[in-house]
Homo-oligomer: A and B are copies of this chain.
Amino acid sequence: MDYNMESIRELILNYIELDEAEWEHCSQMLKIDTINKKEIVLFQNTVCKNIYFVVKGLLRTYFIDQRGNEKTFHFSTENTFATDYESFLKRTPSHYAIQALEDTIVITISLEMHESIYTKLRYGERLGRLIAEDYFFMINDKIKALYGQTPLERYNTMNKKFPKILQRIPQHYIASYLNITSVHLSRLK
């Protein structure tokens, strides 16, 4: 289909074997979409029905807490995913919202495709397991950072992890990602 699909195929191949027929099945269910800057693709408290794979651009996952403060949970850069995985798996209202920070091109993975993975791919269950495990590792890192590091240390870690993307993101989003206010972040620098 599209040459952009190739990157997602390679990602799957990192996890499991995938023959031509299986890939054919997958690629037919994938859609390429564009999201305009500031557009919201998932609203908080609605069921998350897609996983987005960012081909180009930048997505932000966030939520509004009880006091009305916006908290940024994650940035999805090129070749990474964005979704509320818990909402997606459980079909429950999402805790997070997802918004484009730039004009963004994504590959959309639907609930239907996700379900068919388990039946149509020989190693579908394993793929699901490895993805869930990776998701767990990712979020585990976040917990460790929140528990064991100061905001400044988290900022420095972030600088190493997203060296270039940082300049593209407004500071108040970065601050809320670090769980501090933008004023305080300004001070730390």
Contacts and interface: CB of A to CB of B under 8 A. Distances in A.
Nearest to A147: B71
A9 interface: no
A148 interface: yes
Interface stretch (A75-83, A121-129, A164-172): A121-129
Contact of A129 (B85, B125, B140, B142): B125
Interface string A44-82: 000000000000000000010110000101000000000
Contacts of A111: none
Nearest to A71: B147
Interface of A (DSSP majority class)? helix
A86 B140 contact: yes
Tell me the number of copies of this protein. 2
A85 B140 CA distance: 10
A31 to B, nearest CB: 25
A63 B143 CA distance: 12
Contacts of A12: none
Interface stretch (A22-30, A99-107, A130-138, A181-189): A130-138
A173 to B, nearest CB: 14
A143 B136 CA distance: 12
A114 interface: no
Interface string A134-162: 01110110111011110001000000000
B142 A132 contact: no
A71 B150 CA distance: 13
A158 to B, nearest CB: 15
